[in-house]
A and B are shown apart, each in its own frame.
Chain A
Amino acid sequence: MNLRRLLLISVPYLWLTALFLVPFLIVVKISLSTTAIAIPPYTPTLDLAQGWAGFKDFLSQLSFDNFTFLTQDDLYWKAYLSSLQIAALSTLFTLIVAYPIAYGMARAPDEWRPTLLMLIILPFWTSFLIRVYAWMGILSDEGLLNQFLLWLGVISSPLHIMNTSKAVYIGIVYTYLPFMILPIYAALDKMDDSLNEAAVDLGASRLSAFWLVTLPMSRPGVIAGCFLVFIPALGEYVIPQLLGGSKTLMIGKVLWDEFFSNRDWPVASAVAVVLLVILIVPIVLFQRNQQKQQEAES
């Protein structure tokens, strides 16, 4: 029994240690190394054969130079700031688009709901890459949106949306919409409508009943949805690469280029470490929010 228990725990434990924890420690280590023209392209390399002396020697060669470099070159902090801005604004836009949809779903007749839910989840199962790609043909200068607006006569010359940050906003709202709709819908679905009726009976207008009753009741869902969009949007690579063009700076793209184009592994690792430090704040807040929710329910 005890052997079986040990086996059950240790197999996934060792797997995650070897393929999640150790790789991450390697990133931290390389972020403290210096670039070298060698294979692998950084120094120092840890040589365990030299024993304790080798390890001390290794420690003395580590430096924070890459992190100071990140603060000196304004490319990096601009990329971090613009990632934060794009992630925050697109989370807000996603909320604005998602809320009325979730609200409509929660008010829909019971027999429609499974179908509506399935229609929200279905895009999640289809390829992310394809959903982003679908917008390339729509947003380009000679794309369908511009053709349509020109035909309507709303605009006289094509709008430049593709290869700007506007296209990135649209891409993020589109691909992350289900992550926002589902938690809001779940919160609204649990709500007892007699609360709303009570507010109306007591003389509130429908709008103020919504504002004073429904909206506060859906707050946990709104908060969860915002984190579920903000956290992955911050490190997004595919959307800015395909829709944002070369002028839209996002940190995921900078990391990718630093690694694949510049082959500067230590700087790429430092960029990754800083991104993770930034992400810890929303992740901890999200976990606290989820825990509070669970406690409130039980």
Chain B
Amino acid sequence: MNKRLSWFNVTSLSLGFAFLYLPMLILIFYSFNASKLVTVWAGFSTKWYVALMHDQPFLDAAWVTLKIAVSSSTLATVLGTMAAITLVRMGRFPGRTLFSGMIYAPLVMPDVITGLSLLLLFIAIGLDRGIFTIMLAHTTFSMCYVSVVVSSRLLTFDRSLEEASMDLGASAFTTFRLVTLPIILPAVVSGWLLAFTLSLDDLVIASFTTGPSSTTLPIKIFSAVRLGVSPEINALSTLMITVVAVGVVSASLISKRAIIKQRREEQEGERV
């Protein structure tokens, strides 16, 4: 594309990014507001952060959410990677069409339907609802996202590397551990991160599959904000946005450095 930005491009980019970021900046700004009324500025204060730190139900919910997110994303990464290898490497087997359908369907399934169907299953088999059932539900939809991310990496990599390893006498498992896994590892890691964020973020499916004793952070936030805007939620949102922003920015800096390093090595290789 053309590398000259017209005034129109500059305006649309600035307005676009303002639209994307202003609401979040406003949220962050008002989390430091001394007034309980969110729309009236009454001076700088960090009291909502202090209140949040002493709000035991919120801290409990955060802990529950984290436990579910770590366990479900780890399990989903293992299952999703297995599913990706099955889809890309296993060729034909009975029921392959159904299998790939079951991988792609959850990606487009509305949350309300996924939640409803899982709840009806848990009731039908008499499973007590709580952290465990939410974890099962999250694993199920996240493994499909993981498998899509990993299979796109599997499709593009050079299979002769695996064949060379097998020719040199390595077993299938050793080849997977020493050749395949290191190559697909970036995709596996991004799959895990995606699954982790999806689990942290999910409100609807967790609401359906939770029991009376376990409340996740999104459920807690949702029931609080239904009553209106609250400064404590603003403080919580600010913390969550900050964590994500630091994570994403540092991840992109790391990958940028890796690309620069790779380019430099390639250039040196050309010189030799």
Contact = CB atoms under 8 A, between A and B. Distances in A.
Interface stretch (B6-14, B49-57, B180-188): B6-14
Contacts of A9: 86, 90, 93, 99
Interface in B204-239: 204, 208, 218, 221-222, 225-226, 228-229, 233, 237
B192 interface: no
Given A19-B140, A272-B113, A191 B237 contact: no
Interface string B235-250: 0010011001101110
A281 to B, nearest CB: 12
A54 interface: no
Q: Which of A100, A231, A242 has the most CB of B within 10 A?
A: A100
B34 to A, nearest CB: 16
Interface residues of B, number: 83
Given A12-B143, A126-B240, A231 B108 contact: yes
Interface string A109-136: 1100010101111110111111101111
Contact of A138 (B21, B23, B252): B23
Contacts of B30: 137
A108 B121 CA distance: 51
Q: Which of A1, A118, A234 has the most CB of B within 10 A?
A: A118
Given A23-B118, A107-B3, A125-B248, A174 B19 contact: yes
Contact of A136 (B5, B143, B229): B229
A147 B201 contact: no
A255 B116 contact: yes
Contacts of A259: 116, 208
B162 interface: no
B103 A16 contact: yes
B95 to A, nearest CB: 7
B178 interface: no
Contact of B12 (A100, A120, A144): A100
Nearest to A9: B86
Nearest to B38: A137
Contacts of A183: none
B168 interface: no
Interface string A1-29: 10011001101110111011111101100
A30 interface: yes
Interface in B95-149: 95, 98-99, 102-103, 105-106, 108-113, 116-118, 120-121, 123-124, 136-137, 139-140, 143, 147
B68 interface: no
Contacts of B208: 259
A107 B121 contact: no
Q: Which of A129, A135, A188, A236 has the most CB of B within 10 A?
A: A129
Main secondary structure of the interface of A (DSSP, over half): helix
A131 to B, nearest CB: 7
B221 to A, nearest CB: 6
Given A19-B118, A134-B23, A104 B12 contact: yes
A129 B222 contact: yes
B24 interface: yes
A68 B16 CA distance: 46
Interface residues of A, number: 87
Nearest to B252: A118
A107 B2 contact: yes
A101 interface: yes
Contact of B204 (A16, A127, A237): A237
Contacts of A164: none
Contacts of B244: 122, 125-127
Nearest to A283: B108
A89 B105 CA distance: 25
Contact of B13 (A105, A130, A188, A238): A105
B79 interface: yes
Contact of A193 (B1, B103, B139): B1
A4 B118 CA distance: 30
A264 interface: no
Kindly list the 7 A-B residue pairs having the minimum CB-CB distance in the complex, ordered from nearest. Answer: A235-B110, A100-B12, A23-B117, A101-B16, A104-B9, A12-B83, A134-B23
Interface of A: 1, 4-5, 8-9, 11-13, 15-17, 19-24, 26-27, 30, 40, 97, 100-101, 103-110, 114, 116, 118-123, 125-131, 133-138, 140, 142-144, 147, 174, 177, 188-189, 191, 193, 196, 231-232, 234-238, 241-242, 252, 255-256, 259, 265, 268-269, 272, 275-276, 279, 283, 286
